[in-house]
Amino acid sequence: MNMYEAEKRLWDVFQQPLKDYQKRRIVFWYDKSQSFSDELKEYQIEDVLVLRCDDQHYFETKYLVEHVHPEQNVLIYFEHERPENEKNPLLDMYFYSQEFKMDPMENLKDELGIKIETSDVFFKSYQLFFNNKQRRKQFANVLADKHEITEMDLELAILCVLTKTKELHPFGVFRSLFTEYGSGQDSLWQQVVKFGRPAAFWQLAKLSFGYVQETPSIATLCQAVFQTKLHAEFEGKIPANWEKQLLRQANNCVVFLNRWMNLRDEQDSYNRLSDNVFEELQIVKWMKNKPAKWLAQSDTFQAFDKQLVEGIAVQLAEGAILFDEFENIILNRRASYWFDSFGNEFEALLAASRLLKQIHLNEKEGFPYQKEAFWKSYQERYYQLDSYYRQFYVAFDKGSALSDAFADLRMTVENYYKNGFLAKLAETWMTFFKDATAFSVENTLKQESFYKDWVSTYAVKENRIFVIISDALRYEVAVELGQQLEASTHYNVATHALQGVVPSYTELGMASLLPHHQLSLSASGEVVADEMGTKGLHQRNAVLEAKLGVDRAKAVDAKAILNSSRSELREMFKGSNSIYYIYHNTIDAIGDHAASESHVFEAVELAQQELIRLIDKLFNGVSAVRFLVTADHGFLYTRDALRTLDKVNADRTDVIASNRRFFTNREADSQNPGLLDFKVDVLADEDVYVHIPRGAARLAIQGGGSNFVHGGILPQEVMIPVLDITTERGKEMHKSVDVQLISNTDRITNIVTYLDFLQVQAVSAERRARKVKLYFSDGMDNLISNEVTLLADSPNEQASDRMVREKFVLMSQSYNLLSEYHFIMLDLETDEEITRKKFVIDLPDAGLF
């Protein structure tokens, strides 16, 4: 070997990354033949001090290295062989340094600190592997963090390099080869065949999984791992012809695949492989007609979730009343592997199950027979059915590949909502007004008094209030919006309900929210407030300025705020104004047109997002601290086209205002049994009457656009929300619920064990849901069990309803009674360790890994 090659190898040595305990690299070079003595006199290497040492300069060399150049890389050259330890004056320095040898294998062994007696035989047996410089480097990198290297580690490191696995762990090797198998490739396996020893891999498979075959293959090993995991999950209830393929180290199969599924960057490879294995094992035949509760035991294959959602959909559509069972399955599934792939389907099922459950309860209990009690019941309970109906369609419309089962379920939901809930609610509600001459619910706050009751005090205060009026913001939508705002770090929300004006349409509803003494009709039939027009932003601003002063109140379009820059926003709200009316129109703008009314539930979601952005922008941009969010009216909406019997023919003469839910004129009696007739008592005019179809019926008018309507007296139309929002800039973020391990043990005696957990507090306005990961680790923080995701989001007040039992599978390996093992609970949002509890693992027969 010439000096050029020696220089290259020395350069490689000094370029190796330092270990954690090293600050520099010191290299000893013993050149017994003095082959490089002359060349070394001219040798220079950047940032390396080259010292020549002979028998007369040991002390000087030691002094230079340790005291004169204590931080510099050093090459010490000797023109003799390395002396025996007891005769080596630099022995202490030698022990924390590295010896350079012209044999690259010897250099590698020294660098890694390999002291195994059989290592020479090992390296010679892999001569072809080590002939490649890049493979040698990768081999060293894989073993870099290993302090005591065994021969098994050397074999594993070879496999890691050949399978492009960066972690020194058998699972990484199996994952790489299984990934390749799932893609229909075998180039990595051919590398093992060419540069490694296949027998070493099959020995690793035997130790890791208990896999032994006369003619082993990646295909049968991979299939057997999946089969064994299913055997564990379904408690042995698997096809009989699988028995011979089951692996002895079943727990390691479970932990291996579980760990793979939890590696975010490796999920595509798992998905592809699991789909292939599903087909190869013909699992579709085995799982046919299996009930949802049975399938819910496993999330190994995507098809389980597909059949799960379809099965629940079929059962709900056919009238099954296992609502609690279905809800538990769906809620538990949210922490499973495939949930995101079927999230819309599961959300649709959850909403459908809750809707149908409440309708069944209502059929048993009936509606209240007293008007005020009915109003209160809708405010507290019945509004949820409108929410469930809306949530079902939001999820249903987003589903990319919903099956026929969901089409049938949609028809069931539609029928039950329209006929089982809405029609019966409307029928009962109408009985309270069959002899009434005006619409009124006693002991309720009125929409026409909104300014006086909620806003007027700010006319004389220095503090500002921001009134946001969102067109057609139905009560149930506002409740959900309030919950979303409460979950943030800034807002406290109180939700109230007003009795809206009748007819419940935009012009009258908007006018009633403005400051006024009286509302009336102009000669042209428009609603005016104290003789001032109220239609549109300009007229409403004029009313505010006239009533409160030019410098005290202002009307603003929400779009202008949402589209403004920070400087434009500050300019918009500078001055001494204390009352701002902000007008937002997304729901009504989409729902009130025949071409777009089917998208009204999408509009609801958009409106909620816009309102949150609007409030956030005002809070952050102009330091707004008090908001009122309200509406002009609500709405009715059903998806399917209305039947003829859902429409009322009416002789409409001298109409002042109208839509599909009402018309006004100056006739007190419509002479139509399909209509209710009321005086419009919110108007000062003595002779204006409104005529409204009974129940949820619409007026028979030519043209489309009859599914989304408002104007009548149903609670969905006239229960007006008021969200009273206060802000706290320094408000402490809502704490997450606490999760505690409540099993009274610190000792594991079964390789499959169950532990109990308690969600300490119920989810509420003060406590947020929490998602945690649970697992066991050894003293080096290596994972030794499956990972369990626990979603603590129960709102139930009863503590027993917030308890859950989780299954943990420990790896089959040797455990020492004196070693440290820990149970870990990790917050998945913050990555914060919540719990680290010491456990003793008493499993003498767990097997050697």
Using DSSP, state whether 75 is helix, strand or coil: strand
Q: Phi and psi for 826 in degrees, rounded to 5?
A: -120, 130
Assess whether 273 and 302 both reside in one domain: no
Using DSSP, state whether 571 is helix, strand or coil: helix
Please tell me the distance from the alpha carbon of residue 385 to that of residue 716, in angstroms, as a whole number.
11
- 517 lies in a domain? yes
| Residue 115 pLDDT | 64
| Residue 37 pLDDT | 81
Residues 643-666: b if buried by 16+ CB within 10 A, e if exposed: eeebbbebebeeebbbbbbbbbbe
- 157 lies in a domain? no
Assess whether 227 and 369 both reside in one domain: no
- 155 lies in a domain? no
- 599 lies in a domain? yes
Token pair of 805, please?
């039992």
Domain edge (last residue) among 102, 123, 145: 102
Assess whether 280 and 294 both reside in one domain: no
Please tell me the distance from the alpha carbon of residue 174 to that of residue 192, in angstroms, as a whole number.
12
Assess whether 628 and 698 both reside in one domain: no
| Residue 847 pLDDT | 55
Assess whether 653 and 743 both reside in one domain: no
Assess whether 345 and 278 both reside in one domain: no
Query: Tokens 């956030």 belong to which residue?
Result: 616
Token pair of 184, please?
């229909």
| Residue 539 pLDDT | 97
Assess whether 272 and 310 both reside in one domain: no
Residue type (1 letter), 587: I
Contact predicate 374/431, CB 8 Å: no
CATH code assigned at 466: 3.40.720.10
For 3, counting Cβ atoms within 10 Å of its Cβ (0-12 exposed, 13-18 middle, 19+ buried), the class is: middle
Instruction: Tell me the pTM.
Output: 0.84
Assess whether 581 and 699 both reside in one domain: no
Assess whether 651 and 723 both reside in one domain: no
Q: Output Rg (C-alpha) for the chain, integer angstroms.
A: 38
| Residue 849 pLDDT | 38
Contact predicate 591/636, CB 8 Å: no
Kind and range of the H or E run holding 822? strand 821-827
CATH code assigned at 779: 2.60.40.2550
Assess whether 304 and 282 both reside in one domain: no
Contacts 24+ apart (CB under 8 A), 480-487: 480/387, 480/608, 481/608, 481/611, 481/612, 481/629, 481/723, 482/723, 484/608, 484/612, 485/612, 485/615, 485/723, 485/725, 486/734, 486/765, 487/734, 487/768
- 632 lies in a domain? yes
- 486 lies in a domain? yes
Task: Report the Cα 221 to chain-centroid distance in Å.
Answer: 34
Token pair of 340, please?
């995101």
Strand locations in 373-464 (E): 445-446
Q: How many domains does the chain have?
A: 6
Length of the chain, please? 849
Per-residue DSSP letter, 235: T
| Residue 521 pLDDT | 94
Domain hosting 653: range is 644-707
* Neighbouring C-alpha atoms within 13 Å toward the C-beta of 678: 25
pLDDT tens digit sequence for 326-362: 999 999 999 899 999 999 999 999 999 999 999 999 9
- 23 lies in a domain? yes
Assess whether 584 and 510 both reside in one domain: yes
- 497 lies in a domain? yes
* Consecutive 10-residue averages of pLDDT for the chain (849 residues): 72 84 90 80 82 87 92 92 89 88 69 66 85 86 84 93 94 97 95 95 96 95 97 91 92 95 93 96 91 93 94 94 94 92 95 97 93 97 98 90 84 96 96 93 96 91 91 98 88 96 97 97 93 96 94 95 95 89 97 92 97 96 95 96 82 89 92 93 92 93 84 98 87 80 92 94 86 94 93 90 92 89 94 94 68
